[in-house]
């Protein structure tokens, strides 16, 4: 894509368009960011911590405006948008409070001399981000790298350019130096050229497998370090002893939070046979009570998807799944609107030959699998190209931890669904990508672990 436009998915009205930068604008941006990197090399992480707290406050003070533009551009329900702004402020506070300590030199035990490694900035990082959490995806990269001392160039998704601009503005107004985060609207070709520039030292992408493969290829060709946070087909495993209330609560949002457009949304609901009918019943209840409407209206519980393009892609996937034998257990009634609404649907009987078996459905589609027992549940969970998140629902937490350890995935939530916080590492394995964001692990993504050893002189 990379044709930057703000289109309200509730009305399909285009309300803003943005041009690609000129070559000299790109050169100026890289120069500015690179100059800041060199300046920051003479300053400490502690000196930036207070500014990052101010950035957190800036987001809290501008919560209404930030939340509104996100909702207008990609249809997220306004209260979820506000929650996202608060989460991002808390991530900034987290790195302001803990980041400098994480960057202290690490002593190394060695018989060869006094050894330690420094944790140093490496330079300007190119961040390519998706639309589904317009602020959170950016802050996951910006906040830790701000403390490290790596300035960020941002290429946001083509459909959230206004959110990108406001994010950069709030960061600047809060007191971050010019160049800390520079928002650009590059074409794919321009992005390739930026990545190839010797002043760019890393590439962080969150997005699809397709976009990730393309950008990772370019990063690899130019020997740039990269992190890839890609799609998922998360298993939500329901065991025999699942607490009915916990199960009901988890199911109520498992496939509808952010209208199901979450990388770690529970896309494969895997249920032992003793609980299968109950799960279908609870999911149907959760879907049928949704109220479709304007995402700016706080009484709405079913917003449009982010775009008609995504809606149409999802509809096509569902049609293909049904053609290949999937059964429709429930489908939400017709929605009389020109918006990008998708009617939530529950599918069953997806077998291994169905294309849906190993695809990501990025919207409110629940695919429910019945299995004999726990072993079959684990085997099915692992029979996937993806390995991002997962859930295990069981009253026996110790046992659920044992099950979690057997799942090939980057994250498991026991008795719950999607969760994120500054201190919790986020990321996956297999085609869900590599590297981690957030926590101390995410902090180290673009750090130079610089060994220093002083040898005995006698
Ligand atoms: P996407 O198409 O891959 O886009 C992500 C970003 O990459 C956008 O800025 C996009 O720009 C850019 N991009 C895509 N293809 C590119 C190419 N060939 N060259 C250069 N840049 C390219 O992803 P999406 O469909 O918008 O986002 C949804 C996906 O993100 C889902 O698969 C979801 O699971 C995943 N996701 C993963 C995580 C995680 O943490 N693992 C979190 C959230 C979402 P344009 O918009 O201009 O195309």
SS3 string, 203-216, reads EEEECCHHHHHHHH
Residue 141 Cβ < 6 Å to ligand 1: no
CA distance to 67, 260, 318, 358, per residue, from 283 (Å):
29, 13, 18, 21
Is there an atom of ligand 1 within 6 Å of 158 CB?
Answer: yes
Rounded Cα distance between 429 and 447, Å, is: 21
Q: Counting atoms of ligand 1 from 1, which one is nearest the CA of 128?
A: 9
pLDDT, position 456: 84
Q: Which residue has the tokens 């329900």?
A: 77
Is residue 131 within 6 Å of ligand 1 at its C-beta? yes
Q: Distance (Å, rounded) from C-alpha 446 to C-alpha 436?
A: 11
Phi and psi, residue 254, nearest 5°: -55, -35
How far, in Å, is the centroid of ligand 1 from the Cα of 206?
A: 6
**pLDDT number for residue 230:** 97
Any ligand 1 atom below 6 A from CB of 154: no
**Half-sphere exposure (Cβ direction) of 211: Cα atoms closer than 13 Å:** 23
SS3 of 79, please?
helix
Cα dihedral 282→285→287→289 (10° resolution): -150
Q: Active-site residue among 63, 73, 84, 229?
A: 229
- Taking residue 25's Cβ as centre, other Cβ atoms within 10 Å add up to 16
Tens digits of per-residue pLDDT, 32-82?
999 999 999 999 999 999 999 999 999 999 999 999 999 999 999 999 999
Contact 434 CB / ligand 1 (< 6 Å) = no
Task: State which of 164, 207, 267, 313 you would mutate to test the pocket of ligand 1, scoring each by most atoms of that ligand within 8 A of its C-beta.
Answer: 207
CATH 3.40.605.10 for the 4-230+432-454 domain, yes or no? yes
Nearest 5°: the CA angle 184, 187, 190 is 80
Q: Is 208 in the pocket of ligand 1 (CB under 6 A)?
A: yes
**Spatial distance between the Cα atoms of 322 and 324, rounded to a whole number of angstroms:** 5
370 lines ligand 1 (CB under 6 A): no
Nearest residue (CA) to ligand 1, atom 17: 211
Using a 6 Å cutoff on CB, does residue 5 contact ligand 1? no
CA–CA separation, 352 and 367 (whole Å): 13
Ligand 1 contact, 73 CB (< 6 A): no
Atom index in ligand 1 nearest the CA of residue 156 equals 9
- Torsion angle of the four alpha carbons 140, 125, 38, 33, in this order, in degrees rounded to the nearest 10: -90
The token pair at 51 is 């500014």
8: CA distance to ligand 1 center in Å? Answer: 19
| Segments of the chain assigned to CATH 3.40.309.10 | 235-421
List of residues 6+ apart from 216 with CB closer than 8 A: 203, 205, 226, 228
Profile the chain (458 residues) by mean pLDDT over runs of 10 residues.
89 96 98 98 97 98 98 98 98 98 98 96 98 98 98 98 98 98 98 98 97 97 98 97 97 94 97 98 97 98 98 98 98 96 98 97 98 98 98 98 98 95 97 97 98 90
Tokens of 366: 């629940």
Q: Which two structure tokens, joined as six digits, stand for 10?
A: 């509730």
pLDDT the model gives residue 2: 60
Distant-in-sequence contacts of 332-338, Cβ < 8 A, 24+ apart: 332/287, 332/288, 332/290, 332/292, 332/302, 335/292, 335/302, 337/10, 337/292, 337/304, 338/11, 338/12
Q: How far apart are the first and last CA of the chain?
A: 64
- Compute φ and ψ for 285, nearest 5 degrees: -60, -45
Any ligand 1 atom below 6 A from CB of 2? yes
Give the residue range(s) of CATH 3.40.605.10 domains in the chain: 4-230+432-454
Say how many C-beta atoms besides its own lie within 10 A of residue 14's C-beta.
10
CA-closest candidate to residue 263, choices 353, 439, 155, 129: 129
Task: Based on the residue annotation, tell me whether 229 is a catalytic residue of this protein.
Answer: yes
Q: What's the maximum distance between 2 C-alpha atoms anywhere in the chain?
A: 84
Question: Which of 284, 367, 288 is CA-nearest to residue 324?
Answer: 367
Centre of ligand 1 from the C-alpha of residue 213, in Å = 10
Helix H or strand E segment including 275: none
Classify the phi-psi angles of 298: left when phi > 0, otherwise alpha if psi is within -120 to 50, otherwise beta. alpha
Residue 443 alpha carbon to ligand 1 centre in Å: 22
Name the closest-CA residue to atom 42, ligand 1. 263
Distance 260 CA to ligand 1 centre (A): 16
Task: Name beta bridge partners: 228.
Answer: 205, 434
Strand, helix or coil for residue 236: strand
Pocket lining: 378 vs ligand 1, CB cutoff 6 Å: no
264 Cα to the center of ligand 1, angstroms: 14
Q: How far is the CA of 172 from the centre of ligand 1 (A)?
A: 25
Phi then psi for residue 37, to 5 deg, are -55, -45
SS3 169: helix
Ligand 1 geometric centre to CA of 97 (Å): 30
Q: How many Å apart are CA 203 and CA 225, to the nearest integer?
A: 6
d(CA 411, CA 408): 9
Is 260 near ligand 1, meaning CB less than 6 Å away?
A: no
Mutation test residue for ligand 1: of 208, 307, 314, 435, the one with most atoms within 8 Å of CB: 208
Identify which of 130, 305, 314, 430 to mutate to test ligand 1's pocket (most ligand atoms within 8 A of the CB): 130
Q: What is the pLDDT of residues 268-299, one digit of tens each?
A: 999 999 999 999 999 999 999 999 999 999 99
> Which listed CATH number (3.40.309.10, 3.40.50.300, 3.90.45.10, 3.10.20.30) goes with 235-421?
3.40.309.10
Dihedral sign for Cα 181, 18, 132, 231, please.
negative
Which atom belonging to ligand 1 lies closest to the Cα atom of 4?
Answer: 47
Q: Residue 380 corresponds to which tokens in the numbers above?
A: 């099915």
Dihedral over Cα of 371, 360, 73, 161: its sign = positive
Q: Any idea what DSSP says for residue 457? A: -
Q: Is the CB of 287 under 6 A from ligand 1?
A: no
Distance 156 CA to ligand 1 centre (A): 9
What residues have CB less than 8 Å from 160, skipping those under 6 apart?
6, 70, 73, 74, 131, 134
Provide DSSP, 89-153.
Answer: HHHHHHHHHHHHHHTS-EEE--TTSEEEEEEEE--EEEEE--SSSTTHHHHHHHHHHHHHT--EE
Residue 12 token pair: 């399909």
């Amino acid at each position: 894509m990379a044709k930057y436009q703000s289109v309200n998915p509730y009305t399909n009205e285009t309300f803003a368009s943005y041009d690609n930068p000129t070559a000299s604008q790109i050169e100026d941006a890289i120069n500015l960011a690179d100059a800041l990197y060199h300046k920051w090399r003479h300053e400490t992480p502690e000196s930036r911590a207070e500014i990052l707290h101010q950035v957190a406050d800036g987001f809290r003070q501008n919560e209404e405006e930030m939340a509104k533009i996100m909702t207008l551009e990609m249809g997220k329900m306004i209260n979820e948008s506000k929650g996202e702004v608060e989460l991002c402020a808390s991530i900034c506070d987290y790195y302001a409070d803990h980041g400098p300590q994480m960057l202290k030199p690490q002593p190394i035990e060695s018989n060869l001399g006094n050894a330690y490694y420094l944790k140093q900035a490496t330079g300007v990082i190119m961040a390519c981000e998706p639309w589904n959490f317009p602020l959170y995806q950016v802050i996951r990269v910006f906040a830790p790298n701000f403390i490290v001392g790596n300035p960020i160039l941002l290429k946001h998704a083509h459909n959230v350019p206004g959110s990108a601009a406001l994010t950069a503005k709030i960061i600047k107004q809060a007191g971050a130096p010019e160049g800390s985060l520079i928002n650009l609207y590059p074409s794919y070709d321009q992005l390739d050229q930026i990545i190839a520039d010797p002043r760019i030292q890393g590439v962080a992408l969150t997005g699809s497998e397709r976009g990730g493969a393309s950008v990772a290829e370019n990063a690899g060709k130019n020997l740039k370090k990269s992190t890839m946070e890609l799609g998922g087909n998360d298993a939500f495993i329901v065991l025999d002893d699942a607490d009915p209330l916990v199960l009901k609560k988890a199911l109520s949002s498992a496939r509808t939070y952010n209208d199901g457009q979450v990388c770690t949304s529970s896309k494969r609901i895997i249920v032992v046979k003793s609980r299968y009918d109950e799960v279908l019943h609870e999911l149907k209840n959760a879907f049928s009570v949704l109220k479709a409407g304007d995402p700016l209206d706080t009484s709405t519980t079913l917003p449009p998807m982010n775009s008609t393009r995504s809606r149409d892609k999802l509809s096509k996937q569902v049609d293909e799944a049904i053609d290949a034998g999937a059964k429709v257990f429930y489908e939400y009634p017709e929605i009389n609107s020109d918006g990008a609404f998708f009617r939530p649907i529950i599918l069953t009987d997806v077998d291994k030959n169905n294309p849906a078996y190993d695809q990501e459905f990025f919207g409110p589609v629940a695919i429910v699998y019945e299995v004999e027992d726990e072993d079959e549940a684990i085997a099915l969970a692992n029979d996937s190209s993806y390995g991002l998140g997962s859930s295990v629902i069981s009253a026996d937490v110790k046992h659920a931890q044992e099950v979690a350890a057997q799942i090939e995935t980057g994250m498991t939530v026991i008795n719950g669904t999607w969760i994120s916080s500054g201190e919790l590492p986020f990321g996956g394995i297999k085609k869900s990508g590599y590297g981690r964001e957030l926590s101390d692990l995410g902090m180290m993504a673009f750090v130079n672990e610089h060994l220093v050893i002083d040898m005995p002189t006698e």
